[in-house]
Chains A and B, each alone.
Chain A
Amino acid sequence: MSGNPQRGRDLYLTGCQSCHGFDARGIQGTAPTLHGVGAASADFYLTTGRMPLDDPHSQPDRTEPAYDRQSIDDLVAYIGSLGGPEIPQVDVVGGRLNLGEGQRLFTNSCAACHQIAGRGGVMSGAFVPTLLEATPRQVVEAARIGPYVMPRFSETQLNDRELAAIARYVQYAKHPQNPGGWALFDVGPVPEGMVAWLIGLLALLLVIRMLGRNEAP
């Protein structure tokens, strides 16, 4: 990863300064300072296409990144030079990472909002994004920086190894094994309940039909 902070600064002046200010110290009521947010934040927001944002008062959603990889690296290098956390190193394949542990931790810390299969949803005041496209590095970055209204997770709550386990589970959850058959888009109990209702109703109709049979008088 070789970003050029000088070129990053140029890109910043054309793409970002209208909201974050000439010196990247933010504009009151519009956008926060970027001093101290670190390379991790810049990498997360830029690689997920969440920044630049047209309307600073709307929720930043995942889109196609506005910059190519080299420009992102340059911007990240510039923002990183203002201080703050580095891009986390995530190794989801190596180490002793247990998928089951990842699922357990994801259940405890993430599933309340993102749902157990990572398909997202809503909460009051915000949409919860799906994790279908999240890369392991983006998962770890998001947990550490808490983008938009997402809470943060510090080292004491989830250490790096545990976060990597979660990231591994998120990768798995994109294409989970469904030995039970049709997964119904992995969106949880509502469609499953609907199917159960339909099947149950058919069974009931059958029973009713049998009960109602009457011998001709």
Chain B
Amino acid sequence: MKRWLIAALVLLLGKLRPPRALPPGRPVREPDRRAENLTFLLLLCAMAAAAAFIAFYFANPDTQFLGATLGLAFVLLAAACLVAGKRVVPQIEGVKERPELEHPFEQDEVVAVIAEGGEGVSRKRFFLLAGGGAAGLMGAALLTPALSCGPEANRVLSRSPWNRGRLLVTELDEPIVAAGIVVGELVTAFPSGADKEDIASPVIVVRVRPDELDLPDDRRGWAPEGLIGYSKICTHAGCAVSEYRYPSYGPTAPGPAVVCPCHYSTFSVTEGGKRIFGPAGRALPQLPLAINGDGQLVADGDFSGRPGPGWWGVRK
């Protein structure tokens, strides 16, 4: 690290100052061409990897690809630094006692000595370009993900595929027959004809005995025959709420609730998704359900609240 810093300083100074003639009679170190070429190559690859990260971000933001390309860029940059530090910049360490620097000409002298350390490096301008390019591209790669916080985020997070009459289907796109769900059962469903990966898509449907229902007053009729729908995405950090407990005998067991396996947020299914335990900040959004003429489950509108974990503006 220190060596690399010194190398960078040398490169910079070598660029800023007019070339100086070497004092005569001093041994000149031959530049190590192969090491320099290797450094260039590594820097170029680092740039390519950083550029690939940006390309993946826009074309196919799969976290595996993003992680691989950014990681690769860092590894290549580190390798370039290693080669440059070990083989390109001369490795002579010396300590020279000096009194406190007082006069401008003494400072000049020191700078000149440091600059001599840059000898033995050919094509400095080229180095500067490659190093700057790699740093710039990697900086850009690191900043691109900030775009995800832009206005697009709000649009993606607030769109919902649910509306009145939208058919509920299974993972295999088959409609769900209401009569096929027994009391104490949990079924995962999706909106027909929508992207199943969308954060607002997956819902859970459970059937409880109608007399167990304790829904808020404005949600009467949202649970025909005791069939209740909720978003499957935990309002804490967005895990799939996949654990379900339904007591076979209510008086001696905990009440009907869905539990998120990540941090155990527990939502009562009979009370409109009310959070009864765990870190989630708000209730599970409820989906109003209806049964169509063919006995199949359909949505009767949109969620009671925004599905998914909280973000700016969505706390309640």
Contacts and interface: CB of A to CB of B under 8 A. Distances in A.
B186 interface: yes
Contacts of B181: 154, 156
A186 to B, nearest CB: 17
Contacts of A125: 245, 254, 257, 259, 266, 277
B248 A145 contact: yes
Given A29-B251, A124-B264, A149 B245 contact: yes
A146 B246 contact: yes
B185 interface: yes
A126 B252 CA distance: 12
B269 to A, nearest CB: 11
B251 A124 contact: no
B180 interface: yes
A32 B272 CA distance: 26
B261 A152 contact: no
A151 interface: yes
Interface in B212-259: 242-249, 251-254, 257, 259
Interface size grouping (class) on chain B: 20 to 34
A172 interface: no
A126 B259 CA distance: 11
Contacts of A56: 252
A177 interface: no
Nearest to B261: A112
B248 A154 contact: no
A177 B243 CA distance: 27
Contacts, number: 80
B251 A126 contact: no
A152 B266 contact: no
A152 B185 contact: yes
Contact of B185 (A30, A112, A153): A153
B203 to A, nearest CB: 15
Given A112-B243, A123-B259, A146 B177 contact: no
B248 A32 contact: yes
Nearest to B265: A124
B187 A30 contact: no
A5 interface: no
A123 B186 CA distance: 16
A35 B152 CA distance: 58
Contact of B248 (A30, A148, A157): A148
Contacts of A126: 245, 253-254
Contact of B245 (A28, A123, A154, A156): A123
Given A146-B246, A154-B181, A124 B252 contact: no
Given A124-B259, A154-B182, A112 B247 contact: no
A99 interface: no
Interface string A134-154: 000000000001111111111
Nearest to A147: B248
Interface of B: 177, 180-187, 206, 242-249, 251-254, 257, 259, 261, 264, 266, 277-278
Interface of A: 28-32, 56-57, 59, 112-113, 123-126, 145-157
5 contacts: A112-B242, A112-B261, A146-B185, A148-B247, A152-B185
Given A146-B248, A152-B185, 12 more contacts: A56-B252, A59-B253, A112-B243, A112-B261, A123-B261, A124-B254, A124-B264, A125-B254, A126-B245, A149-B247, A151-B185, A156-B180
